[in-house]
Structure 1
């Protein structure tokens, strides 16, 4: 029992000593912190000793900026034609491969020509008969002429002979026209390609009966190079654009069209706007603008949805502001920070509805020669005193100098924030 009591007493003393030591160290640390805070306060913490913040600025001047519009569009074939029969009959042969490229005038189908060949032969025979009859009546009228002069035949007989000769001439013209019609119908038994382009699937097979009055075409041909792009623009936007032309430095321009495909990739070729329709769609309230664009690779197909971007006008009094210099408040209003008089910052609202490359296109709110801060904007407030230098200026670092107190002082001069 005596040994246990002694051990317990020693443990209690050791614990008490460790506790007191920890409390003393904690108090000493607090004292050092307070002394350091006081020393920092005397030295001017928080940037008071560093002077004004260095910021980089750019000087803006009015320039020409294209008013680019991006709208939904849909592609359509440059030329499209239905292959239709012009005579009735049974299809005997097909001369093309579905999906291939066909040339204008190339034979595509053959309709049974036997009936039309027989009709042409009959018309040819009728023409020969009419010509023979014409010749006989002409000779008869010539023979009656001297006889009528000596009154060997009556004048009425001579008049009838002349009339019969003229009727024979008219009959020759009629049968000649009938022969031409029969030959045309015979030619129509071979159905040619009306345009050059890529032909689709055949809707009728060999052995099918077709007629000139049927509603369904035999096939369809589409010319895919170049292609039309039908762009839908709201009538309100077009009206606003027309009102703004020749005002505020906005002038019209030739619209070069660029496309963005459905997968988000850019289409490499560029085109131009051909015309704008002179009517508004009553269902959608839009106006259709048609552009023509090359399609040598066959990437564009009729009916594809694309995004078309093009410039309808040029603003000659716009300002191009780097995107990093513009910020927006909680309401979405755009603002920039300027270097004002006496080196103090000024926050100014601007109008920036679109971008051009890495710049915002600012249409109102700026004046020529404004110094817009682009660097050192973090935690920068309006009215703050700053040291403004041109943006992206190199930083000049001076070598260390020996101070009066015997310590080296490193002086650096920053020209860009």
Structure 2
């Protein structure tokens, strides 16, 4: 290839490259204009509000009633769904067979006691003869052995009587404590099996327990509340019923469980509430509101600065030029603001207006920052 041809190729390529660059510049989209936004400076403030926890109403004491003997149900002595007293007769299982067994065991005991009496007299007589060398030593030994055997037979007969008597006693089922009994699951005449057939369930109902799971980071605060509110109810603990009504009676902490669940990082706390009108039922789901009046400052931002995406919460912060999305963990809502538990630092600027036009890295044009106002107390 001669030099003239090489220069022609170079010049042609350069011309094509120059033309291509001009075309790219002509086709390039202009940069989007900055989104006008307003911002809010994140600050700390003291606030009184209620933390809310999902909870379950549960009895302090509950037991399933199951028979301890086999037989047919011959008596039911309570009103289903009503209150029962400790020691009240609830069910009766056919007693005839167990009574017959008891009488037979009593008769067997009497026979063995008679045998013991005879063996005792024989032994006493032989010992008296032994003193005068009027009987062989072997006969005395036999009498002593017979006496010991008779004693053991009497003991066995007494044990049998107690066992049969226990079975007879178990034919009647009594309420183990004061409480409310449910609908009977066995009807009159039904065959029941020891330890198998579920007859009913009885539970205490005043007071009632309310169980909730608290985060381990709140454990110390709950421990202090337990000491402060032991055996005294005040407005610290409120119960919100399924219909969103506020239960009229306050509660207090009954206990905090012994250990944190390593899988969830939570620990169970149990509150108790009075229930004289039986408004609280076992198994109800509710919410517990606990007054958070800790003397610590919280980060507060306007609620309108928060964006929810698939159950998670985000805000947009800015350095004055670009918008940056941050995931946040939120706490209680206080008026038009919300507590930020995690994800932001004091002094950062969050965007409060123009959020619908923003995405990560979008350019922004700032309005005037809005100063933090006094937080609103929870109602």
TM-score of the aligned structures, taking structure 2 as reference length: 0.63
Which blocks of at least 5 consecutive residues in structure 2 are unaligned?
1-44, 231-235, 307-314, 316-329, 348-367, 372-379
* Aligned-partner Cα distance in 2 for 1:119–1:252: 56
What pairs with 1:254-333 in structure 2 (closer than 5 Å)?
Answer: 254=229, 256-281=236-261, 284-311=264-291, 315-316=294-295, 328=302, 331=305
Separation in 2, partners of 1:136, 1:244: 73
TM-score between both structures, scaled by the size of structure 1: 0.58
Q: Which of the two has higher C-alpha Rg? A: 1
Q: Residue 82 of structure 1 contacts residue 219 of structure 1 at CA under 8 Å; is this kept in 2?
A: yes
Distance 2:250 2:295 in 1: 24
Moved over 6 A (4+): 243-246, 355-366, 381-384
Distance change (3 Å), C-alpha of 1:125 and 1:383: closer
Establish whether residue 187 from structure 1 lines up as the match of residue 165 from structure 2: no
Answer 1 or 2: higher relative contact order, Cα 8 Å, separation at least 6: 2
Secondary structure at the aligned position of 1:270 is classed as coil
Q: CA separation in 1, counterparts of 2:239 and 2:208?
A: 12
| Aligned pair partner of 1:219 in 200, 203, 206 | 200
Deviation by residue 1:226-246 (Cα, 9 ceiling, x = unmatched) = 111111223xxx236649999
Output the aligned Cα RMSD: 4.1
Alpha-carbon contact 2:301-2:340 (below 8 Å) kept: no
1:82 to 35, 46, 64: 64
Post-superposition Cα deviations, 1:228-271, rounded to whole Å, max 9, x if no partner, equal 1111223xxx236649999xxx9985484211111211111111
Name the structure 2 match of 1:139: 121
| 1:149 pairs with one of 117, 128, 131 | 131
State the partner residue of 2:29: none
Tell me the CA shift for residue 310 of structure 1: 2.0
Distance 1:244 1:183 in 2: 51
Aligned residues of 1:196 and 1:223 also touching (Cα < 8 A): yes
Change (3 A) 1:197 1:328: closer
Structure 1 unaligned spans of 5+: 1-61, 320-325, 334-351, 367-380, 385-417
How much has 1:315 moved relative to structure 2?
A: 3.1
What is the CA–CA distance in structure 2 between the aligned matches of 1:140 and 1:69, rounded to whole Å? 84
Say which SS state the counterpart of residue 269 (structure 1) adopts. coil
CA distance in 1, matches of 2:221, 2:289: 21
